[in-house]
Amino acid sequence: MQITGKMLIGKNSVFGLAGNINAIDPSTNQQIEPVFGFATADDVQQACDLAGQAFDTYRETSLEQRASFLETIATGIMDLGPVLIERAAQETGLPVARLEGERGRTVNQLRLFAKVVRDGYFLDATIDSALPERAPPRPDLRLRKIALGPVAVFGASNFPLAFSVAGGDTASALAAGCPVVVKAHNAHLGTAELVGRVIQKAVADCGLPEGVFSMLVGAGSQVGQQLVGHPAIKAVGFTGSRSGGLALVRTASQRKEPIPVYAEMSSINPVFLLDDALKTQTAQLAQNFVDSLTLGAGQFCTNPGLVIAIDSDAARSFLELAGQALEKKQASTMLTPGIHQAYVKGSSHLAEIADLTLVGKGQPAESPCAAQAVLSVCSGSTFLTTAALQEEVFGPSSIAILCKDFNEVLQVSESLEGQLTATVHATAADHDLAKKLLPGLERKAGRILFNGFPTGVEVAHAMVHGGPFPATSDSRSTSVGAKAIDRFLRPVCYQAIPADLLPAALQDNNPLQLARLIDGKLTLA
Amino acid sequence: MQITGKMLIGKNSVFGLAGNINAIDPSTNQQIEPVFGFATADDVQQACDLAGQAFDTYRETSLEQRASFLETIATGIMDLGPVLIERAAQETGLPVARLEGERGRTVNQLRLFAKVVRDGYFLDATIDSALPERAPPRPDLRLRKIALGPVAVFGASNFPLAFSVAGGDTASALAAGCPVVVKAHNAHLGTAELVGRVIQKAVADCGLPEGVFSMLVGAGSQVGQQLVGHPAIKAVGFTGSRSGGLALVRTASQRKEPIPVYAEMSSINPVFLLDDALKTQTAQLAQNFVDSLTLGAGQFCTNPGLVIAIDSDAARSFLELAGQALEKKQASTMLTPGIHQAYVKGSSHLAEIADLTLVGKGQPAESPCAAQAVLSVCSGSTFLTTAALQEEVFGPSSIAILCKDFNEVLQVSESLEGQLTATVHATAADHDLAKKLLPGLERKAGRILFNGFPTGVEVAHAMVHGGPFPATSDSRSTSVGAKAIDRFLRPVCYQAIPADLLPAALQDNNPLQLARLIDGKLTLA
């Protein structure tokens, strides 16, 4: 498949005329061909209009049709073969093995949502039978969830496949019955076009209305804002920076009809090392922590940006070993020149903070966008009085906090903003302290994990990739895992609707074989 | 129980010193004793601090404890006896029989949520077992929903019991495990204090932390804004005007940590009369429509403010009969002088619209706050070109729209803003047209009902009292019925947590006997 630089608007390929851009190879800072054109306001309008026109048809496709559409996309992505991986590697600087893994995750996500659609639990089918004898009589009441409407998706720079054109936001929105308009990330436009064409073809092959999928190219501050402001768009999925996410939230809330924005933004992912775990596993913890910190040049939303322990010999030994392990780590190429510049700036801001001491650094950077990893340390009281230490530095940078006692550990925990993850390392001997930590972590984080590291987000039914602000703009949801579909649904109640007008999910004979809540009792098919 | 004019802050009764107000009897416009004091900023702070302190303990009470707490409140409300009904009648002008019915609904709501809590479906308990052999290994992942945090509740003027201090918002928030701080509605302060004291006593009797419930008095623009701005508050429930709801949404979104607002605001509840139904049931439809329009002085969120039909002999006959029925309706006292003034103003605005013709009026008003019902009519094209006709006039006012054909009916339907309800009257002969109407109604409304009238909202598992903006500020939810609890929850994932630290909902032996999604399969207890 050839990369053309064109956008995908319904069934058409369109070269945008409002400006243009090339993808950049971050390992060389050289432009990659071809050039991509930016969407005009008319292009945005057309993509949104098509999505609006497709909505009623698409949301009422059968569960089987929608599941099979998702599987067609998954197969199409695998069928692209090495061309996809090669292009993604060139655009992002990410290693081939990592991208192959990410492709696997992407198609698994699509297949998970095919299962979610077939299971139909997301419909929340609920029936309260009529009680004609009651005074006053109760009418027949039935509830199902329906799709919210067309969704605007903004992919992330750091997952060119799994959080991008056919990533979790797109998969869950399509699963819910929502047409999708993607704003392709400018950091991997060729990858975006390849995947976008797979979806465009799947729409046609599955006989769906063309407006089910479009993909636009342009600046977030222009095309992105126009997209979120369009009346046909009814929800937004976004993964990226806090400033980018908040700009979309603002636009969405100022519309004539405000709409929900699911922005996954900023998290520093505290890791708590409790005493006995720290004492008995010092060396292994140090190595595993450094491996997690430097994985993928630290470019994960779940990168461990804080390590918290009570000051002790074991803690100091942990830091020494971590510093040594860090010194062996090669600098890795970051995703874009912009991300690299922000990392260099963020690291040097930290270096200026007086009470923050350098623990160790990775190998110095040679290629233009490579990042040198950094671990620093400060006291609990410094952390509690220095707001700048809570700001995410996107990349392989972390701060260790040595607290004077467990009470200060709790204070540090309470002082944190909302997080995607919180990690605890604990042996059985630490469980009494862990119990005291847990309620606060539940209030702060979407995922709490023990004796592991937060990088690596499993795509499963029980996953939560979300959390209180500013980790996300909406803590009531997850952007990874089966429950991500709930973001794009709303309940509708049908009162005394004649049987021949009822949606299949709510018909008496249960043709979709759904689990349903009938008169307050959960009933399997 | 004596009404003192004091607020309830945790276990204390406090007379607010920031101003004061008396409730007013709308049938006489006379003040009712005693005087109520307005909360100072310190009072608001204290109520919110107590709620924050109570949160971790309250959210981890057992399901049985929480259910029994809700039932204790229900019993306490019934035990108040006639004093509650008498005070509510005096403050609201609502008839005793209506208030007795509303009290029944209020305690039924509390009992429904006790059942919802005991069933535990709201926890969404989900387990994905570890797959240690897989490459890479999958960790053990478990998900439950936890309470969002303390909730600020703003009661409605028109339901002094069911949408007020112990109404649906409070019941569902308490059920979810959220402490509640109520801003009492100034239209029924004595009623609020009576019910508030029942909750305060139930908190003590059930051995819960005092901060689980507080009730403040003051102006929405001051105390209400301070409450929503307090960092301990994590969500807001509101029923009232569009301007009031949007003011809270604005404050909530401008906080350092933005929080969700569930504001139920404005709806004109279109009623579609399809041809055969209109022809075969003309007289009955006219009478039932007028009964619904004038019920409770038209002061329902679900009041039928629009009636839409194709222009025909039957439609004109319907209007004639409705006008005659209306002329027999006595004027009823509205809830407050302010609401009455707004109704008079809204009605006279409508009367000035040139292409709107009067069909009929109810009996003229005699007592100071009584409302004269009005039905007007216009053409479909007038409606489509006159935005003012979509504005809610809260009270017994409705507009009939006579369309030139079914296509214009569809255009009118598409032009509507979001609604709480949409109603269709249809016989079997009308089902083909009804089918064409339904997709649009699903996009516009939270509840679709056939061959009835929208007033009367059943409290059940399948009820949706919600809908797209501006019916509510968050269409993904309902403020009535079992699913109202979902508004005050967020998911948390527990990864590889040691068994002795797992919440009961997620333990292997399922001690709470919950239905759980285990490895993707829904499993009953």
Q: Nearest C-alpha of chain A: how many angstroms from B50?
A: 17
Count of C-beta atoms within a 10 Å radius of residue B253: 17
Identify the closest residue of chain A to B464 by CA–CA distance: A493
pLDDT in tens, A360-403: 999 998 888 999 999 999 999 999 999 999 999 999 999 999 99
Query: Distance between CA B114 and CA B175 in Å, rounded?
Result: 7
8 Å CB contact of B496 and A124? no
pLDDT in tens, A243-279: 999 999 999 999 999 999 999 998 999 999 999 999 9
Q: What's residue B135's pLDDT?
A: 86
Task: Report the largest interatomic distance among the alpha carbons of chain B, rounded to a whole angstrom.
Answer: 81
User: Which among B466, B478, B520 is the nearest to A461, CB-wise?
Assistant: B520
Which of A365-369, A451-455, B337-341, B393-397 has the least mean pLDDT? A365-369
ipTM of the complex: 0.97
Phi, psi of B222 (to 5 degrees): -115, -75
A440 within some domain: yes
Catalytic residue among B264, B369, B378, B403: B264
User: Which among B142, B428, B500 is the nearest to A462, CB-wise?
Assistant: B142
Domain shared by B482 and B445, yes or no: no
Strands B397-403 and B306-310: parallel
In this predicted structure, the answer to whether residue A197 has a pLDDT above a threshold of 80 is: yes
Q: Give me A466's structure tokens.
A: 């979300």
A119 within some domain: no
Q: What's residue A80's pLDDT?
A: 98
Q: Nearest C-alpha of chain A: how many angstroms from B347?
A: 25
Domain shared by A274 and A260, yes or no: no
User: Taking a C-beta distance cutoff of 8 angstroms, is the pair A263, A298 a contact?
Assistant: no
Residues in chain B: 525
Q: Give me B141's structure tokens.
A: 């992942």
Domain shared by A243 and A256, yes or no: yes
3-state secondary structure B27-89: CCCEEEEEEEECCCHHHHHHHHHHHHHHHHHHHCCCHHHHHHHHHHHHHHHHHCCHHHHHHHH
Q: Give me A319's structure tokens.
A: 């830091």
- A-chain residues near B260 (CB < 8 A): 474, 476
Among B436, B493, B497, which would you mutate to test the A interface (most chain A Cβ atoms within 10 Å of its Cβ)?
B493
3-state DSSP helix/strand/coil % of chain B, to nearest 5: 45, 20, 35
User: Taking a C-beta distance cutoff of 8 angstroms, is the pair A481, A459 a contact?
Assistant: yes
The residues that bridge with A145 in the sheet, in sequence order, are: A491
Domain shared by A431 and A298, yes or no: yes
Domain shared by A261 and A327, yes or no: no
Nearest by Cα to A360 from A326, A384, A393: A326
Q: What is the DSSP string of A303-341?
A: ---EEEEE-SHHHHHHHHHHHHHHHTPPPEE-S-HHHHH
pLDDT above 90 as % of chain A:
97
A7 within some domain: no
DSSP code, position B123: G
Domain shared by A224 and A291, yes or no: no
Domain shared by B244 and B353, yes or no: no
Among A59, A61, A131, A476, which would you mutate to test the B interface (most chain B Cβ atoms within 10 Å of its Cβ)?
A476
Query: Distance between CA A76 and CA A81 in Å, rounded?
Result: 9
CATH number at residue A416: 3.40.309.10
Confidence of residue A1 (pLDDT cuts 50, 70, 90): confident
The residues that bridge with A401 in the sheet, in sequence order, are: A308, A378
8 Å CB contact of A124 and B258? no
Query: Distance between CA A80 and CA A221 in Å, rounded?
Result: 31
Domain shared by A83 and A203, yes or no: yes
pLDDT in tens, A204-250: 999 999 999 999 999 989 999 999 999 999 999 999 999 999 999 99
User: Which among A115, A463, A475 is the nearest to B490, CB-wise?
Assistant: A475
Q: Residue B482 is which amino acid?
A: A
A344 within some domain: yes
8 Å CB contact of B115 and A447? no
The residues that bridge with B21 in the sheet, in sequence order, are: B36
8 Å CB contact of A493 and B115? no
Q: Nearest C-alpha of chain A: how many angstroms from B340?
A: 28
Domain shared by B142 and B251, yes or no: yes
Q: What's residue B402's pLDDT?
A: 98
Active site residues of A: 264, 301
A505 within some domain: no
What average pLDDT does this structure show over A148-176? 97
- CA distances A132 to A87, A129, A500, B463, Å, are 65, 9, 20, 17
Query: Distance between CA A461 and CA A457 in Å, rounded?
Result: 12
DSSP code, position B255: S
User: Taking a C-beta distance cutoff of 8 angstroms, is the pair B127, B142 a contact?
Assistant: yes
The number of distinct structural domains making up chain A is: 2
State if pTM tops 0.90: yes
CATH number at residue A100: 3.40.605.10
Domain shared by B290 and B315, yes or no: yes
Query: Distance between CA A112 and CA A118 in Å, rounded?
Result: 10
B156 within some domain: yes
Strands B374-379 and B397-403: parallel
Nearest by Cα to A419 from A303, A500, A314, A499: A303
8 Å CB contact of A492 and B462? no
pLDDT above 70 as % of chain B:
100
A369 within some domain: yes
**What does the radius of gyration of chain A's CA atoms come to, in whole angstroms?**
24
Domain shared by B234 and B274, yes or no: no
User: Taking a C-beta distance cutoff of 8 angstroms, is the pair B471, A257 a contact?
Assistant: no
In this predicted structure, the answer to whether residue B1 has a pLDDT above a threshold of 80 is: no
Range of the domain at A348: 270-450
What average pLDDT does this structure show over B344-358? 94
Q: What's residue A135's pLDDT?
A: 86
User: Taking a C-beta distance cutoff of 8 angstroms, is the pair B215, B181 a contact?
Assistant: yes
Query: Distance between CA A319 and CA A271 in Å, rounded?
Result: 14
Q: What's residue A5's pLDDT?
A: 98
pLDDT above 90 as % of chain B:
97
Catalytic residue among B301, B369, B378, B403: B301
Domain shared by B94 and B166, yes or no: yes
Query: Distance between CA A191 and CA A88 in Å, rounded?
Result: 5
B133 within some domain: yes
Q: Nearest C-alpha of chain A: how many angstroms from B337?
A: 31
pLDDT in tens, A105-137: 999 999 999 999 999 999 999 999 999 999 889
Strands A445-450 and A489-495: unpaired
